[in-house]
Structure 1
Amino acid sequence: MLEPEVTNERTILDYLNEDCWHAVLQYVPAQELIRTERASRRWQAVVLMYLRGVHITIEKNDWKKKENPFNTCTLMPSKYKSFECWTKKLGSSVTSIYCINLENLAMIKENCPNLGALQASRIECTESELRQYNLHDNFKLLQQVSFYRCSVGDNTFSQFIADKALEKIEFRYCRFLTGHCFSSINTTNLKSLVLESCNNLQFIRYSVADRLGSLTELKVARVNKEIGYDVQFELEKMAKLERLELQSAIMLFGFPEKVGQLSRLEHLGVSFELESCDLEKVLRGCTALRSLELLDCEYRFGFVEVISRHGGALTSLKLDQVNAKDDDVLELVRGCPKLEKRQESQCPGQYQEMKTTYEGLTVVFEKTINEYDEESEFEDSDEEIEWYEEECEEEEEFEEDVE
């Protein structure tokens, strides 16, 4: 009589304990782990057990990104059920998340008690609707909030932020923002402020600037010229600044001297016309400066000599539309020995093929679009098309799942 066949159903899951799995899975990006979660129930349990011990970021799937940060999951928070599923499964591990409506926000409020950063996009609601999700009462650990294309006004922003002492606030493409909310929100711990493409923004020179003295990072880009004037005028009240990026049509008289007084400034990026004598005042005054971006260098002369003479501490340098020659590159390399990488964009044609190394420093000439060029006005339409295409794709995926 034949003996019954003995099958060995033990797998590697039976031989490794929790510590071993932690040691192995720490080398696998969270996004890849999530993709394998449906392999089996046992494997799902192992994945969830591991992911609950790490900090997870859930963000909008962006086709522009070639690869995601290690613990970032690109899940689209819309009708596609994966967002709801994974927000509930990993809620306690989620430290940064992205939402597009009040339904998403309600789910995040319920499932993500350890949230540290929130990106709110395209929120459209009344002041009373958003008030019930105010940050102070519902997100105890939140430190950063970003608003992108949110069609709400200053009163709604004030009610939503409430008295929450945030460290970082970003407003991008918020057309109804005027800036009056800064006079009422808590700016005690505010370290970083980004104001970008907010057409109705009004920087309240005397009441708001006095409340932004704790800032270490300030970026003001693609706003009306009065905002650029006000920021330049009030720089002396922001003595703790370490990073400053400013787009303004015209440089105000006295700007180099005001910037030169920022003894902690490590990064400076400007897009207005800066003369070589003004640049020299900046470099002499900002002794802590390590990174410099000048985005309107066309027809500016003397930059190379000034940077070579006073930029010896720079580790990063970007000059846009600069007229440079081989000798200029060599002079900069010799004058700035600490540079890690320097890029020059929109250089003359004869230098386009130049990509070589000087004493370990790679010098790259590339043709790029100025971040603050008029061509950026077409950015809206491209983003609208991208958004529509993603929504269509998700509707199809959702219908397939239902079927």
Structure 2
Amino acid sequence: MFFDNEERNLAQRELFQVVSQELLALSSNFDASFGVRNIPTHTEDGIPIRKLYVSNLPPKTTRAELFGVFAQYGFIKSCWLRMGDKGPNRTPKPTYAFVTFINPADAHKALQAPYHEKQLRGRHLRISPADSWHQPAEDADGRVCWKPNSQRQEENIASLSGNDDEQHNDVPKPDPPSNTEKDRDDSNALAECGVSQDEQQQGSSETDSDFNILDVLNRDCLNHVLSYVPIRDLIRSERVSKRWQQLIQEFLLGVRIFKTSWWQHVPVILTTAVLRRVLQKVGGSITRLHIDHNWTALNDRTAHTVGKFCPNLEELKVVGMHTKNWNPLIYGCKQLKHLSFISCNKLKDSSLVQIVKSDSSIESLTVANNTHVTGLFLTGSNPRKLSYLAFYNCYSLQGAVLTAAIDLIPCLTVLKLDACPVTMWKIIPLILKKVPKLQELSLSEYNSLDIGPKLYDSEMFCESLSKLTELRALNLSKNIYVTNAVLKQVARSCPKLTALNISSCNSRRSYSHAGVGDEGLSAICRSCLDLSRLDVSYLAALSDNGLAAAARLTSLTSLTARGNAALSAQPFALCLASCHYLKEIDACGCDSVSEEVVTAAVEELGAHPRPLVLSIAATAAANVKELPAHKLLTVNTNEDRSNPHLRPDFVDHIFEDISDDSFEDLYDADDFDDFLGGDEDDFFDDDDDFEDYEGMYRMGLHAPDILLL
């Protein structure tokens, strides 16, 4: 079947509902043309079909012409015509129409009529039943409610109003006059077809009101649906109608969190101008803003934009931006409490001076993956509300500067100095002595011995820990400076400890000093009885006797012990039998853990029911085909969460001893001299300074470069 250009453009503008009606109309006309009579008399919801959907209308179609086409099948209740877009240079064209019959049998006749009878100006009309929502509904007594559901709801609401409205019900209301000659011509034509003036007005009042999905869904459903639509698309769709614009504006006023990473799937470059337009719509209501989109498109005016349009902002997270100055935030965001800068390479101390001044409301500050921040911005201010300070992988952070700045932060309760320069470890005891109210401490990823200071006596660090009596959470993971002596001091000084992470503390057996073992863990379990979360993964000196001490922790809820080949199922079973609040056990990578831990878990859940997650991937229990089961027990045998490179028994096969002779064949090759440039330009001359490493460094050549050669 072929269509002209006007019909094709029209079909592109129709909604999915209209397209479905078109397909149904084509199928019904096809059946009628070939004598097939399978057209239903009722909708899927059991409502009699009285209203028909009509499309493929010719230009300049009037309601009188539609009455003339369908009046031959029965008495028509109303006829409504949908006109297209209007404008100064546009002629409105009809898109579709609804024809409502008094009797459902007459509507069925119109559907079954031959295809050639339903023509208008040489164009075949497409006829199909309207949706159930548009069909007039019948009461239990057989009375027909001709008005759409939206108008019926409005009448019900109006009937519940005061008595003042009832007093005016008897006053007759004048009929709305016709405004154009076209309406008068249509009325005259309808009168010639046998339709009275009152019936014309009833049909017009029934169908002239637009009905859409906004009348079906309540506000909560609409907000839930709109939450899945990108804010950029919602802003661009405001021009649809005034009602839709009002709905979008009310929804945007309720937005509290906005992340620019939600646009990653959209092929649009986020610029400061685009961000400004978005924040003009949602900036007044959002409290959390994450700028984690492509940083190359945003300029230095981003801070001014955020400060101007987000007066109620409480949390700001910036990821991967090269913007230097963020001081303008303090002038607009008076309620900003949480601030994070992740991988912002151009961020310097001068960028944060005004943000942390004495009258600011900043409570937490995080700087990660930075090479310029030294901590000097904290010395020139007195942030009275700052209680959370975190630095991660900040190479230029200076311990002496940070020690002086700590004196100006009286309310500090959380301090995180992770993956900082190794020289910082000597200054940490001085810092900890100045923060006796500290409740959370993180000193992780200090695992370098080559470029940092040599290991020294830990008495100074233990002495600083003795003053942290209010400590609740401690993270010492991947820290080779932590020993059993440190844990004994923590056990004596921190009785309120609830979370401890000592994973991978000197996990290599090849290190010259001993790390954390059974002695230190036993001391912790004897004193810190309020521990609820414990992580003892990748410890070379940990055995079953040390982990069995965790059975004393009656408040334990999470136990993690990954990658410990020396552990068996016995200590985990003891913890399950004694710790009745335990909800999670992670023993991934513990090769000797058998199915006994699952059996112990089933027995414990029978006595003390609770949800329990047991992760035993890469263990001996994971190879058992049928494990004991319980409805509250979740056993994970597929997802191996352990890291093989952190295991105490890990061996790097790339740099084994046997690989030292791997270059012998290369030296014996005939073309190796040609590769180095010949004998006359011998690179490794005996008389050169390359015989020792000092000569190599003087010539600007390093050992990795020689290995590559």
TM-score range, shorter chain: 0.7 to 0.9
Tell me whether 1:238 sits opposite 2:435 in the alignment: yes
Is 1:209–2:406 an aligned residue pair? yes
Q: Determine if contact 1:75/1:82 at 8 Å carries over to the other structure.
A: no
Rounded Cα–Cα distance in structure 2 between residues aligned with 1:169 and 1:56 = 19
Unaligned runs of 5+ in 1: 64-72, 372-403
| Deviation digits for residues 196-216 of structure 1 (CA, Å, limit 9, x no counterpart) | 111111122652121233111
The alignment partner of 1:278 has SS state of helix
Q: CA deviation at 1:113?
A: 1.4
**Cα separation, 2, equivalents of 1:284 and 1:135:** 44
The alpha-carbon deviation at position 143 of structure 1 amounts to 1.4
Instruction: Classify the secondary structure of the residue corresponding to 1:176.
Output: coil
Cα distance, 1:50–1:114 mapped onto 2, change above 3 Å: same
Residue in 2 aligned with 1:222? 419
Distance 1:229 1:76, change over 3 A: farther
Q: 2:229 and 2:534 mapped to 1: Cα distance?
A: 36
Counterpart among 166, 172, 185 of residue 368 in structure 2: 172
Q: Could you list the per-position Cα deviations for residues 286-345 of structure 1 after superposition, in whole angstroms to 9, with x for gaps in the alignment?
A: 12110001133435322442333233211111123125556655542x211211111122
How has the CA–CA distance of structure 1 residues 135 and 45 changed in structure 2, closer, same or farther, with 3 Å as cutoff? same
Q: Which amino acid aligns with 2:591?
A: Q
Equivalent in the alignment of 1:94: 286
What secondary structure sits across from 2:346 in the alignment? Answer: coil
Tell me if structure 2 keeps the 8 A contact 1:304–1:331. yes
1:367 to 620, 642, 645: 642
Distance 1:62 1:255, change over 3 A: farther
Match of 2:329 among 130, 135, 142: 135
Query: Given the superposition, is the C-alpha separation of residues 124 and 75 from structure 1 closer, same or farther in structure 2, using an over 3 Å criterion?
Result: same
Q: Which range is displaced more, 357-366 or 134-143?
A: 357-366
* Alignment check: 8 A CA contact 1:117 1:142 kept: yes
Instruction: State the one-letter code of the partner of 2:256.
Output: H
The structure 2 residue matched to 1:147, chosen from 338, 341, 347, is 341
Change (3 A) 1:225 1:51: same
Q: Is the 2:467–2:493 Cα contact (8 Å) retained in structure 1?
A: yes
Give the equivalent residue in structure 1 for 2:139. Answer: none
CA contact (8 A) 2:255 2:285 kept: yes
Q: Aligned equivalents of 1:240 and 1:62: distance in 2?
A: 42
- Map 1:332-347 to 2 at 5 A: 332=550, 334-347=551-564
CA deviation vs aligned residue, 1:75-117 (integer Å, no higher than 9, x gap): 9982498755543321112112234432433332232111112
Asked if 1:265 is matched to 2:471, the reply is yes
Q: Which residue of 1 aligns with 2:256?
A: 55
Residue identity in the other structure for 2:497: L
The residue that corresponds to 1:295 in the other structure is 503
- Report if aligned partners of 2:490, 2:524 keep a CA contact under 8 Å in 1: no
Structure 1 106/227 Cα, relative in aligned 2: closer, same or farther at 3 Å? same
Please show how residues 117-132 of structure 1 align to structure 2 within 5 Å: 117-124=315-322, 130=325
The answer for the alignment partner of 1:187 in structure 2 is 383
Residue 254 of structure 1 is aligned with which of 452, 460, 464?
A: 460
Range with bigger deviation, 244-253 or 220-229: 244-253
Q: Is 1:13 matched with 2:214? A: yes
RMSD: 3.7
Conservation of the 8 A alpha-carbon contact between 2:310 and 2:332: no
Aligned partner of residue 438 in structure 2, secondary structure: coil
Q: Judge conservation of contact 2:304–2:328 (CA < 8 Å) in 1.
A: no
Measure the CA separation in 2 of the matches of 1:369 and 1:142. 42
Distance 1:86 1:182 in 2: 33
Per the TM alignment, residue 281 of structure 1 is displaced from its structure 2 partner at its CA by: 2.2
> How many residues are aligned here?
353
CA–CA distance in structure 2, aligned partners of residues 183 and 211 of structure 1 = 7
Residue in structure 2 matching 1:106, options 304, 315, 318: 304
Counterpart of 2:332, as a letter, is: N
Q: Is the 8 A contact 1:59 1:75 kept in 2?
A: no
Q: Which moved more, 1:162-171 or 1:194-203?
A: 162-171
**Larger deviation: 92-101 or 157-166?**
157-166
Q: Deviations over 1:48-90 (max 9, x none)?
A: 4134135223253599xxxxxxxxx999982498755543321
TM-score (norm 1): 0.73
- Report the Cα offset of residue 170 of structure 1: 1.1
Aligned-partner SS, 1:342: strand
**Aligned AA (2:494):** C
> For the residues of structure 1 that align with 2:279 and 2:465, how far apart are their CA atoms?
44
Instruction: Give unpaired runs (5+ residues) of structure 2.
Output: 1-70, 80-98, 101-133, 135-147, 149-209, 448-454, 508-514, 566-589, 605-609, 617-640, 647-709
- Is 2:391 the partner of 1:158? no
Q: Distance between the aligned counterparts of 2:594 and 2:246, measured in 1?
A: 53
Kindly indicate whether residue 461 of structure 2 is the aligned counterpart of residue 281 of structure 1: no
**Identity in percent:** 20
Going from structure 1 to structure 2, the CA distance change for 1:370 and 1:96 (only over 3 Å counts) comes to farther
User: How far has the Cα of 1:367 moved from its partner?
Assistant: 0.7
Equivalent residues of 2:356, 2:378 under 8 A apart? no
Alignment partners' CA distance in 1, 2:232 and 2:535: 39
> C-alpha distance in 2, partners of 1:171/1:137?
21
Determine the structure 1 residue equivalent to 2:570. none
Distance in 1 between the 2:267 and 2:467 partners?
45
- For 1:33 and 1:211, the matched residues in 2 are separated by 43
Q: How far apart are the structure 2 equivalents of 1:43 and 1:353?
A: 61
- Larger mean CA deviation between 173-182 and 290-299 belongs to 290-299
TM superposition score normalised by structure 2: 0.44
- Structure ID, larger Rg: 2
Task: Summarize the alignment of residues 392-403 of structure 1 with structure 2, pairs less than 5 Å apart.
Answer: none
Q: Relative to structure 1, is the Cα distance of residues 209 and 160 closer, same or farther in structure 2, using a 3 angstrom cutoff?
A: closer
